[in-house]
C-alpha cells in the first residue's frame, strides 16, 4: 500500500496564510524523507481556513525543495479555467521536474459563489455541464492531438514542453466515478468528503475504458486521519478539527482553533463529526479502522489529510501512519 499526503495548508487562529504555506513546504520535505509516494496541495479561494489558493504556483516550490516524492494538485478545479492553460502549466511543470508531477483535477468550485464569479470573470463555460467538454479538450492538449472543439482544432501546446503528467480525477459522487471510467482516468475517492463513495469503486472498475491516462483502473482513497502514540493523545489532537467543523456547520468560517482553544470550548458527543474521527487513534487503532475500507475499495494508495496542532504532532502523525504500512 502506497501512502501519500494531501495538504490543505490549514490556517490556525495563532498563525496566518504565510505561516501555513511555510508549514506546507516543511511538511512536504518531511513526507519526502519518510519515503511517501505523493504530496498533493489543495485549491481553496477566499478562505480564512486554508491558504492554498493556487496549486500550480505552490507545486514548483515544493518540487524544488524535495527530491523523490511526487508533487501534485489535489486538485485543480477545472470548471474555473481554460483547459489549454492548465495543460501548458502542467506540461511546463513536467519539463522542470520530469516524472514527478501529478495533475489532480476536481469538479467542485473550491470557493463560494462570489469567488467563483471572480475566477470566471464573465466566462460562460464554468457550469458542471461543461466538464465533459473541458476534460476532452484537456486530454487533447496534454497528449498533443487536435481538439474536438470547433475553433480549437489548430491550437497546439507550446512545442518542446515536457510529456503528460500523471492525471487523476478527484471523485466524491457517482457522476464523478462515471467520468473517471469514461475518460480512463485514475480515480481518487474523497472519502473524507463522502463516506459512501467506496461503493463507486466497483462501478468504476466494471466500466473503465483504457486511455492515454491509464491502461487499467487505478484507485486511491483520500481520508482524514490523526495518529499519535495513544488513542487518548490522538483524540485530543483531533479537537481542533472537530471544533472547526462544528463552527462551519453553524456558518462560522474562521481559522482552525488552537488545541488549547478547542479544549476549553468544544463539547463532544458520540455522534458528532463522525467522518473526521473515523481514523483517529494509535497506530494499532488506525490500522484496524482502515482495514474495512481497504477490503471494500481495494485501493493501491491512501492519501492522508491530517490537520492538527502543534505542527510537530502533525508531522509525527504522518510518520506513524507510514510506519503502519512499512511494518506489513
> What CATH number has the domain bearing residue 289?
3.20.20.30
Enumerate the β-bridge partners of residue 77: 106
Chain-wide mean pLDDT for the chain?
Answer: 91
More confident position, 232 or 116: 232
Domain assignment of residue 184, yes or no: yes
Please state which of the ranges 5-9, 57-61, 131-135, 229-233 shows the lowest mean pLDDT: 131-135
What local confidence, expressed as pLDDT, does residue 275 receive? 46
- Domain contains 239: no
Mean pLDDT of 10-39: 98
Could you tell me which residue, 88 or 125, shows the higher pLDDT?
88
Domain hosting residue 284, numbered range: 2-231+277-326
Longest CA–CA span in the chain (Å) reads 62
CA angle 124, 128, 130 (to 5 degrees): 60
Cα 323 from chain centroid (whole Å): 21
For residue 248, what is its C-alpha cell? 462551519
Cβ(220)–Cβ(197) under 8 Å?
Answer: no
User: Cell 486530454 maps to which residue?
Assistant: 139
Residue 219 lies in a domain: yes
| 255 in a structural domain | no
CA distance 306 to 37: 16
Residue 126, in any domain of the structure: yes
Structural domain total, the chain: 1
Report whether 228 contacts 282 (CB < 8 A): yes
Residue 107 has pLDDT above 80, yes or no: yes
Q: Is 60 exceeded by the pLDDT of residue 237?
A: yes
C-alpha cell recorded at residue 166: 500523471
| Residue partners of 85: CB distance under 8 A and separation at least 6 | none
What is residue 328's predicted lDDT score, i.e. its pLDDT? 62
Q: Assess if residue 41 is contained within a domain.
A: yes
Region 80-107: mean pLDDT is 95
252 lies in some domain: no
With respect to residue 46, please indicate whether it lies within any of the assigned structural domains. Answer: yes
Amino acid at each position: 500500500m502506497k501512502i501519500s499526503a494531501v495538504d490543505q495548508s490549514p490556517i490556525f487562529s495563532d498563525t496566518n496564510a504565510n505561516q501555513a504555506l511555510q508549514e506546507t513546504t516543511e511538511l512536504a520535505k518531511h513526507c519526502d524523507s519518510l519515503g511517501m509516494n505523493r504530496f498533493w496541495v489543495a485549491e481553496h479561494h477566499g478562505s480564512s481556513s486554508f491558504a492554498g489558493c493556487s496549486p500550480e504556483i505552490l507545486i514548483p516550490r515544493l518540487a524544488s525543495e524535495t527530491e523523490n516524492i511526487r508533487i501534485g494538485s489535489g486538485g485543480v478545479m477545472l470548471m474555473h479555467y481554460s483547459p489549454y492553460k492548465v495543460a501548458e502549466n502542467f506540461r511546463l511543470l513536467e519539463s522542470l521536474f520530469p516524472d514527478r508531477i501529478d495533475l489532480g483535477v476536481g469538479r467542485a468550485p473550491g470557493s463560494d459563489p462570489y469567488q467563483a464569479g471572480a475566477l470566471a470573470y464573465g466566462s460562460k463555460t464554468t457550469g458542471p455541464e461543461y466538464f465533459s467538454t473541458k476534460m476532452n479538450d484537456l486530454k487533447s492538449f496534454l497528449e498533443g492531438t487536435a481538439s474536438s472543439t470547433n475553433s480549437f482544432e489548430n491550437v497546439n501546446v507550446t512545442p518542446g514542453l515536457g510529456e503528460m503528467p500523471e492525471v487523476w480525477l478527484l471523485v466524491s459522487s457517482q457522476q464523478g466515478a462515471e467520468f473517471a471510467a469514461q475518460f480512463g482516468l485514475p480515480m481518487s475517492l474523497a472519502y473524507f468528503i463522502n463516506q459512501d463513495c467506496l461503493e463507486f469503486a466497483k462501478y468504476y472498475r466494471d466500466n473503465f475504458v483504457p486511455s492515454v491516462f491509464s491502461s487499467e483502473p487505478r484507485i486511491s482513497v483520500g481520508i482524514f486521519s490523526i495518529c499519535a502514540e495513544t488513542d487518548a493523545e490522538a483524540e485530543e489532537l483531533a479537537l481542533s478539527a472537530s471544533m472547526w467543523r462544528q463552527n462551519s456547520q453553524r456558518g462560522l468560517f474562521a481559522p482552525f482553533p488552537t488545541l488549547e482553544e478547542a479544549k476549553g470550548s468544544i463539547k463532544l458527543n458520540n455522534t458528532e463529526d463522525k467522518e473526521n474521527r473515523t481514523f483517529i487513534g494509535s497506530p494499532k487503532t488506525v490500522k484496524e479502522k482502515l482495514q474495512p475500507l481497504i477490503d471494500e475499495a481495494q485501493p493501491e494508495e491512501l492519501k492522508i489529510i491530517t490537520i492538527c496542532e502543534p505542527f510537530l504532532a502533525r508531522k509525527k502523525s504522518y510518520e506513524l501512519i507510514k510506519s503502519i504500512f512499512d511494518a506489513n
